[in-house]
Structure 1
Amino acid sequence: MHKFLQFFRPLIKFNYNYPYWVLGTTALAAIVLGSFAVQLTVDTDLANLLPDQNPHVKSLDKLQETVGGETAMSVAIKSPSFEDNKAFARDLIDSTLAMYDNKRDAPFFERVSFRRETTFLENNALYFATNNELSDIKTYLKEEIQKAKEDANPFLVDFGEDEESASEEESMSDFEESYNALIPSEYAISPDSTVMVVEFYPTGSKSNLSYLRRMFSSYDSLLAEINPQSYNQAMEVEYGGRLKRHLSEIDSIMNDVFNSFASGISSVILLVMLYFSFKKYTNYRSASNGEESSFWIHLIRLPVPALVIGIPLLISLAWTFGITYFVLGSLNTMTSVLFVILFGMGIDYGIHFYARYIEFRAEGTPILEAFYQTYDNTGSAIVVSGFTTAFSLFVLILAQFRGFSEFGFIAGSGIILALLSMLYIMPSVLLIFERLNWIKFNEREVVSNDNSDSMMNRFPMARNLVVLGLVISVFVGMNYQKLGFEYDFGKLEPEFSEYEQFNKMAGQVSHSDKRNPAYILADNQQQVIEIVDKIRQKMKTDSTPTVLSVEALPERFPTSEEANNEKLKEIAEVRSLLNDPFLKEQDDPQLDKLRKAAQTQQKLDVDQIPDYFKNQFLNKQGEVGNFVIVYPSVGLADGEKSIAFKNDIGKITLDSGKTFHAASTSIIAAEMLELMRSESPWMVGATFTVVFLLMLVAFRSLKWTIIAMLPLTVGLVWLFGIMMLTGMMFNFYNLVVLPAILGIGEDNGVHLASRYREEGSNSMWEVLSSTGQHVTIGSLTTMLGFSGLLLTNHPGLQSIGEIAVIGIGMTLIAALTFLPALIQWLDDRNWIRF
């Protein structure tokens, strides 16, 4: 590493000769790239975290192209009067559809779902029944006829009445479920008719945030103008649904990022100012020239260290996110917090450089020579720790999961640029500040310590601390299986009072159990029928089924002349059974429904089908789509159940060998979880390997490499121990920071081991009093950078902050206790060389 620094040594002289030119050009580049960095947006679409070639992502893209993936804006209306709700809804629909977006030169909404025309389906319901449903209906009617015959026989004694009654009720239940799914109520209302829900379909994309903000802002004004209370004094109106929650989540993340940035960075700056103010004070106290500075001089110069370190760091951050704009175009949920994290991580290198520089200057070393000595001593450790951190993060780029790969690219690039800024821009800032007399040093005497064997220089209780640290690590390692993974997505999402309030009202409207469907897009209608059959076979044979039902219009609406004739024949058989003398005169609501539903005697046309029913089966061109809708029987908020559902229907292979992949956001989430779960061990292992190899190259000693790595290893094990004790679990968000902790945590070992090799045997207290302070402040600044996430409203982002703060804290404690004890113990036995 010394050879690497020697290669760039001429830059030091260049910075010394032309400080204003260096700072000016780099700052100008930062301004240009920063203007692009501020244009970065946060993409919360889970599908974009998977590789483009993923078959489920391809299927989802194809589905959105052919069918569309529109999300409705729902409006919930509540009052004691159904008629008042209906009157308000009609006026609201007219006003809403008239809303116009001048910026896009298009209406905000294109259509509405309000009143459902059910009469046609009531009169032709059996035409849309599946073959299985028709078979069940015929079985039910035959049982009713048999029962009527038995009731008419006065001499029949039936000892199996209970079993027959149960069978009849089951058949009735199946019929009711199918009928109600086919023919819902005319309006989407609650059982007591006090709540009504209307759905509007936007013309713009939900990814267009400025469009959504204009739309919701205009809608607020519209509702205020209409005045719902003029229709009914008790009327309440809530709107939004998933669409508004989507915007709220993005705004929440952006606010969280800003707030964590403000709190984290202000804490970091305050800590840096206080630490270097303390160092300056001790310098003045130990000064040999007797010159003292007043309290006000100290106070005025308090921000100087923050400026010296902060200016190069801000330049590097502007470069990093400007490059990110051109390479990636946007941030995701995980990378959105990297600005504050990189601030906390990047400032470490500046702290080490500046701290050693002022130590040399306080000894009377001239400016240029102080630069050279800082490069030759601390510079090597800074480059080693910077490169190991950066390359450990760059390893993540190899991951298919973009949450890993994009985090690795941005964080790794940010570390490299911060390292370069601290090594080659900070000297220019230091020189300018020295010429402006903003940095002041008093020379202090350099006291040589020849008593290297003094007990005051040895680290106490070395063997005991080593044994204790190893025992704790072994105990945690033996119980590693207690570490858990949080699969429940609901626990990782923020709560929004507006959304909860809307759900509380809209949730009173009865909903079908058929939610969160997955879609399988076929090439033709024959393949649709084959896919339906395959899934139904799976449902019959699966011991742990995750599929509630499967729907396809070709199965309900015959598309060929042969299928149509077969359907009409089945309906005629039902009519025949209904006309049986034993049923014909019966006055029964269920039989009346069937008599009405069995009126179809000729082929129906697609145009005759009500929109509310056929829209779910149509493509963007208004034609019947070749796709299958699969409804889950399990809650997909649970990641494990979501994975099980994906495994059941995610991949369907027909007898011809043709394979189709299901598409939905839940399928994408399940695929993402599986990818994370499979890649995480490899990413952590690869990161650890890269760190080890780079440190081996830097130290050119296997023994010193292992010594410097131990604080990282032991600290990481201690992190796992705390997670076990507190019940903390890894999850979709915080798992990405684990490789980052590996890269960050090794810094402490590198600096302390390097300084000990520089100072020699029995110098641990001297190392800790100088470099120990630097690594402590460096780790604390990084922890403060992450700690801003603890104040966010997003549970997933909070978990990143928790794992990072505890993990970095444990590696710091291990570096300040376990590592000195280990080195002292090995040094006492002459097992290490210098």
Structure 2
Amino acid sequence: MSHGLGNPAPPWARAAVAWTVRHGRMLWVIALLLAVPAVWRTANMYMHLRSELEELLPRNAQSVVAIDELRKRMPGLQYLGVIVDSGSPENLPAGEKLLDDLAARVRAYPPELVREVRLGQAEEKAFLEKNAALYTDLEDLKTIRARIEARRDYEVNKQTGASLDDDEAPPPLDFTDLEAKYKERLGGSSDAKDRFPNGRWSNAQQHVSLMLIEVAEFSSGRGRGTELLDRVKADIVSMGGTDHYAPNMKVGYTGDVAISVEETSALLTDLSFSSIIVLVLVVAVLVVYYRWSRSVLVLLPPLLLATVYSFAIASFPPFNVRELNSNTAFLGSIIVGNGINFAIILLARYIEERRAGVNVDEALVVGVWGSRVGTLSAALAAGVSYASLALTDFRGFAQFGYIGGIGMVMSWLTAYLLMPSLTKALDKDPKAHRRVTHGGFMAPFAKLVTRHSGIVIAATAVLLVLSVHQLSRFGANELEYDFSKLRRADTWVSGEGYWGRKMDALLGTYLTPTVILTDSPEQAHAVEEAVRRAWMAKDSPLHDMISNIRTIDDVLPKDQAAKFVEADAIREDMTPKMRSLVPEDKKEQIDRLLANEENKPITFADLPHTFTTGLRERDGSYGRAVLVFPRPSRALWEGPPLAQFVESLRTIARDAVGPEAKPARVAGSLPLSADILESIRRDGIKASAAALAGVILVVLLLFRTNLISVYIIGGLLLGVVWLAGGMMAFGVRINFANFIAFPITFGIGVDYAVNVMARYAQDGRRDVGLAVRATGGAVALCSLTTTIGYSSLLMAQNRALFLFGLVAVLGELACVSAAILALPALVSWLDKRRGGRRSTAPESSPGSEHGRPATH
């Protein structure tokens, strides 16, 4: 009879283990041959890491459909800002010289990389001043003409004595009301003229100067932004750097391109760094725990094979995961961290037998048979937890679920198929496993839960009450709506966030518009009028969130012939006498109206390029898009106002074109962000409920509806409640990254409780303390290796990744505490109440059938 195995393995189980040992070489050859294409497909998926926001959403999401259409119809629309802080107003000319030199180089970049380079709006300013009359509404030109003629008639009547009222005040030649109306036309803030008197984006008081690089293609991810940013940085270095121009000068990068590159680069750097840390610490922990140096060689190769198999299988139908996104990028580390648990339990059971003096073959049989139920239950439960994410429409969750679920099953299979032969091949030294005559490091915990179960239960109850109290306050506010808190930590100190604020302060407007795509110029006109009305309404959510609206009507003047007639009439009315009556500060306005004496109409081809960006489509057509420029504010980062902004535009886009027409589409990064928040809110409950139901079903199928199942499910619920309460206590909100930790925690909560309770049941329910001493150590090791993996994320610059790691660590602590402390204490207390018999074998007796303690 095998040591420590309450139910000896049946003949067929012995034969199965013997078969895996006898054919181990063949199994390993097949596994390694399969690994070749699996590694290739896995590497290919990581090489095609997609950071675009739309990769997280379903293909049929409104924002994804809209942005796909935007890319097909429109070039450009995104920028890389290069901003120089000269350090002092005196150094500003040097900063402008640096940007001039850099602009000359950037203009030579390939056209597929850079569309245009701008240092200011001098060209646009000159164009508007030359054609001011055409960009003034016809009715306003008539008003200007009427005021001039009214003043002319007053002066004539006064001069000829025809005036009937000598005290009549002269009609003022004041156009202040009309001037205010046109200050925000064609982009920019109302004080654009005062901000940039020479047309260049520079401000001496802020000692900053800006260059904008319009990228060739629209992208919500890195796209070719990395290539562009790297070339710009290399050119600055080759120019001698900032010190070549002036001391204490700094250069920063901002805009959509800089955000995408910065965030994705931080993600990749964090993952690479965390992978190294995890590997080193996990190897060290395994060696220390097992006290057998070859344990690492036994555990890791099958696990690594399972990991690459998982990615490869997920790339085939029906899963079709061909590219990784920002949520699935760190799945490799998670599969390793969770998947190693099954192998740890198996090897721990094997070494326990070896230390009791059992030979290799018999120890393998005991290890495989004794650990099979607990590890299989844990693998299926964890797999179901991951797979529950695949039920959601959110691709960031669904792909995570596919790969993670496959990974758990593959980790179990490779452990039980490949580890026996590998273990026998490596375990040649009979002295490698010395006998241990004490209860191991879990002995104090076993004593605590058996001899002081009341104290543990009391502490458990207190924590449970506190957690439930926290959960009673749970509401919509527990979702993280502020996207600025999910960016990399240093962005607001030295990164894009820091430089972006400087650019916002300089320009006073958001560079990249939200685009409303229609199917005809008539629809675009209707949508523009509806958006403008909402913008002007003080009770509208759009009132404070829009900086400017632009359509083809804003850049290509209407009624040009009639406007020329009015301009000619004004020119005729503006005699030297009348001009002398115009206040000095208003003469410039009149001069601009009369600048174009040629009366040459403006065509679309005459317009500056910046006027047509976002309006000219790839096929050369125009007039079907409405550009809405949001006003820079914190609302752009916060969920409720962001969702309200997007929903208001979508409602207008639907209603303005009429019930029979296809609704206009709202495209851009802001609609994507709003849809991500809505998807998490909608799919979060669905995935969590499915994960919990699936885990409970697995437990009931494997353990039937008995007391052990109740214990396991109770331990799971306790760990989850502790996790949720801990999150609220620490003020950690749910976001699109750390939400994944919840379904994973359901699998983990069952994993640890299952293995402890399975050992308790296997030993005849005699002594739960023995289960803690024997299997609790392996469970603690499983938790420790997984916690190491998650804890490495706490060093991440990416805050979403950091928060995922924090929630996962809290989940680990909650679940392992429930499994090896709270649950066994409750079982021990209930056993005593029922008068259950505990094992009387002494702790130092290694040969006892059921009383031998854990020796690892």
TM bucket (normalised to shorter chain) is 0.7 to 0.9
The correspondence for 1:718, drawn from 719, 722, 726, is 722
Classify 1:432/1:759 alpha carbon distance in 2 versus 1 (closer, same or farther; 3 Å): same
**Secondary structure of the corresponding residue to residue 425 of structure 1:** helix
Equivalent residues in 2 for 1:726-765, closer than 5 Å: 726-765=730-769
**Secondary structure of the corresponding residue to residue 127 of structure 1:** coil
Q: Give how far 1:773 is off.
A: 1.4
Q: Could you tell which deviates more after superposition, 803-812 or 569-578?
A: 569-578
Deviations 1:258-297 (A, max 9, x none): 11111122222212211112xxxxxxxxxxxxxxxxxxxx
Q: Residues 50 and 400 of structure 1 are in contact (CA less than 8 Å); yes or no, is this contact kept in structure 2?
A: yes
Classify 1:90/1:621 alpha carbon distance in 2 versus 1 (closer, same or farther; 3 Å): farther
Q: Residues 704 and 753 of structure 1 are in contact (CA less than 8 Å); yes or no, is this contact kept in structure 2?
A: yes
Q: What is the alpha-carbon distance in structure 2 between the residues aligned to residue 752 and residue 715 of structure 1?
A: 15
Q: Give how far 1:220 is off.
A: 4.2
Residue equivalent to 2:370: 377
Q: What is the alpha-carbon distance in structure 1 between the residues aligned to residue 744 and residue 825 of structure 2?
A: 26
Residue equivalent to 1:611: 609
Q: Residues 482 and 724 of structure 1 are in contact (CA less than 8 Å); yes or no, is this contact kept in structure 2?
A: no
Q: Give how far 1:351 is off.
A: 1.1
Residue-pair matches, total? 789
2:97 is the alignment partner of 1:97: no
Equivalent residues in 2 for 1:96-495, closer than 5 Å: 96-99=106-109, 109-114=114-119, 115-129=122-136, 155=167, 172-178=179-185, 181=188, 185=196, 187-192=199-204, 195-202=208-215, 215-227=228-240, 233=246, 236=249, 238=251, 240-242=253-255, 243-277=257-291, 302-324=292-314, 327-434=320-427, 436-437=428-429, 440-441=432-433, 460-461=453-454, 464=458, 467-468=461-462, 470-481=464-475, 484-494=478-488, 495=490
Residue equivalent to 2:851: none
Q: What is the alpha-carbon distance in structure 2 between the residues aligned to residue 5 and residue 486 of structure 1?
A: 53
Q: Residues 524 and 623 of structure 2 are in contact (CA less than 8 Å); yes or no, is this contact kept in structure 1?
A: no
Q: Give how far 1:672 is off.
A: 0.8
Q: Residues 282 and 785 of structure 2 are in contact (CA less than 8 Å); yes or no, is this contact kept in structure 1?
A: yes
Q: Give how far 1:694 is off.
A: 1.0
Q: What is the alpha-carbon distance in structure 1 between the residues aligned to residue 650 and residue 786 of structure 2?
A: 42
2:62 is the alignment partner of 1:68: no
Q: What amino acid maps onto 1:370 in structure 2? A: A
Equivalent residues in 2 for 1:695-710, closer than 5 Å: 695-701=699-705, 703-710=707-714
Q: Residues 106 and 117 of structure 2 are in contact (CA less than 8 Å); yes or no, is this contact kept in structure 1?
A: no
Equivalent residues in 2 for 1:608-757, closer than 5 Å: 608-633=606-631, 634=633, 635-651=635-651, 652-653=653-654, 654-658=657-661, 659-701=663-705, 703-757=707-761
Q: Residues 762 and 824 of structure 1 are in contact (CA less than 8 Å); yes or no, is this contact kept in structure 2?
A: no
Classify 1:559/1:672 alpha carbon distance in 2 versus 1 (closer, same or farther; 3 Å): same
Deviations 1:14-58 (A, max 9, x none): 211122222233133224422332331332110111111122211
Residue equivalent to 1:23: 28
Q: What amino acid maps onto 2:106 in structure 1? A: T
2:507 is the alignment partner of 1:511: yes
Q: Residues 221 and 261 of structure 2 are in contact (CA less than 8 Å); yes or no, is this contact kept in structure 1?
A: no
Q: What is the alpha-carbon distance in structure 2 between the residues aligned to residue 168 and residue 125 of structure 1?
A: 14
Q: What is the alpha-carbon distance in structure 2 between the residues aligned to residue 593 and residue 812 of structure 1?
A: 75
Q: Residues 715 and 819 of structure 2 are in contact (CA less than 8 Å); yes or no, is this contact kept in structure 1?
A: yes
Q: Residues 712 and 753 of structure 2 are in contact (CA less than 8 Å); yes or no, is this contact kept in structure 1?
A: yes
**Secondary structure of the corresponding residue to residue 618 of structure 1:** coil
Deviations 1:88-119 (A, max 9, x none): 6555444333356xxxxx77545322452533
Q: What is the alpha-carbon distance in structure 2 between the residues aligned to residue 702 and residue 570 of structure 1?
A: 92
Q: What amino acid maps onto 1:190 in structure 2? A: S
* CA RMSD in angstroms, aligned pairs only: 4.3
Q: What amino acid maps onto 1:371 in structure 2? A: L
Q: What is the alpha-carbon distance in structure 2 between the residues aligned to residue 334 and residue 341 of structure 1?
A: 12
Classify 1:222/1:515 alpha carbon distance in 2 versus 1 (closer, same or farther; 3 Å): closer
Classify 1:762/1:141 alpha carbon distance in 2 versus 1 (closer, same or farther; 3 Å): farther
**Secondary structure of the corresponding residue to residue 309 of structure 2:** helix
Q: Give how far 1:610 is off.
A: 2.6
Q: What is the alpha-carbon distance in structure 1 between the residues aligned to residue 177 and residue 109 of structure 2?
A: 49
Q: Residues 275 and 333 of structure 2 are in contact (CA less than 8 Å); yes or no, is this contact kept in structure 1?
A: yes
Q: Could you tell which deviates more after superposition, 17-26 or 345-354?
A: 17-26
**Secondary structure of the corresponding residue to residue 523 of structure 1:** coil
Q: Residues 112 and 199 of structure 1 are in contact (CA less than 8 Å); yes or no, is this contact kept in structure 2?
A: yes
Classify 1:761/1:144 alpha carbon distance in 2 versus 1 (closer, same or farther; 3 Å): farther
Residue equivalent to 2:809: 805
Deviations 1:768-822 (A, max 9, x none): 1111212111112111111110111111111011000011101111222321232
Q: What amino acid maps onto 1:254 in structure 2? A: L
Q: What is the alpha-carbon distance in structure 2 between the residues aligned to residue 784 and residue 143 of structure 1?
A: 83
Q: Residues 555 and 611 of structure 2 are in contact (CA less than 8 Å); yes or no, is this contact kept in structure 1?
A: no
TM-score when scaled to structure 1? Answer: 0.83
Q: Give how far 1:426 is off.
A: 0.9
Q: Residues 349 and 371 of structure 2 are in contact (CA less than 8 Å); yes or no, is this contact kept in structure 1?
A: yes
Q: Give how far 1:718 is off.
A: 1.6
Q: What is the alpha-carbon distance in structure 2 between the residues aligned to residue 473 and residue 83 of structure 1?
A: 60
Residue equivalent to 1:285: none
Classify 1:505/1:444 alpha carbon distance in 2 versus 1 (closer, same or farther; 3 Å): closer
Q: Residues 492 and 796 of structure 1 are in contact (CA less than 8 Å); yes or no, is this contact kept in structure 2?
A: yes
Q: What amino acid maps onto 2:660 in structure 1? A: G
**Secondary structure of the corresponding residue to residue 453 of structure 2:** coil
Q: What is the alpha-carbon distance in structure 2 between the residues aligned to residue 208 and residue 383 of structure 1?
A: 40
Q: Residues 469 and 714 of structure 1 are in contact (CA less than 8 Å); yes or no, is this contact kept in structure 2?
A: no
Unpaired runs of 5+ residues, structure 1, are 101-105, 159-163, 278-301, 448-453
Q: Could you tell which deviates more after superposition, 668-677 or 774-783?
A: 774-783
Q: Residues 392 and 690 of structure 1 are in contact (CA less than 8 Å); yes or no, is this contact kept in structure 2?
A: yes
Q: Residues 518 and 629 of structure 1 are in contact (CA less than 8 Å); yes or no, is this contact kept in structure 2?
A: yes
**Secondary structure of the corresponding residue to residue 636 of structure 1:** helix
Q: Could you tell which deviates more after superposition, 304-313 or 474-483?
A: 474-483
**Secondary structure of the corresponding residue to residue 287 of structure 2:** helix
Q: Residues 53 and 221 of structure 2 are in contact (CA less than 8 Å); yes or no, is this contact kept in structure 1?
A: no
Residue equivalent to 1:294: none
The correspondence for 2:42, drawn from 37, 41, 47, is 37
**Secondary structure of the corresponding residue to residue 118 of structure 1:** helix
Q: Could you tell which deviates more after superposition, 31-40 or 41-50?
A: 31-40
**Secondary structure of the corresponding residue to residue 202 of structure 2:** coil
Q: Give how far 1:136 is off.
A: 8.9
Q: What amino acid maps onto 2:60 in structure 1? A: Q
Q: Give how far 1:722 is off.
A: 2.2
Q: What is the alpha-carbon distance in structure 2 between the residues aligned to residue 605 and residue 482 of structure 1?
A: 52
Q: What is the alpha-carbon distance in structure 2 between the residues aligned to residue 413 and residue 144 of structure 1?
A: 84
Q: What is the alpha-carbon distance in structure 2 between the residues aligned to residue 13 and residue 566 of structure 1?
A: 97
Q: What is the alpha-carbon distance in structure 1 between the residues aligned to residue 221 and residue 186 of structure 2?
A: 39
Q: What is the alpha-carbon distance in structure 2 between the residues aligned to residue 676 and residue 524 of structure 1?
A: 34
Q: What amino acid maps onto 2:465 in structure 1? A: V
Deviations 1:722-744 (A, max 9, x none): 22332222223211221111111
Q: Could you tell which deviates more after superposition, 416-425 or 30-39?
A: 30-39
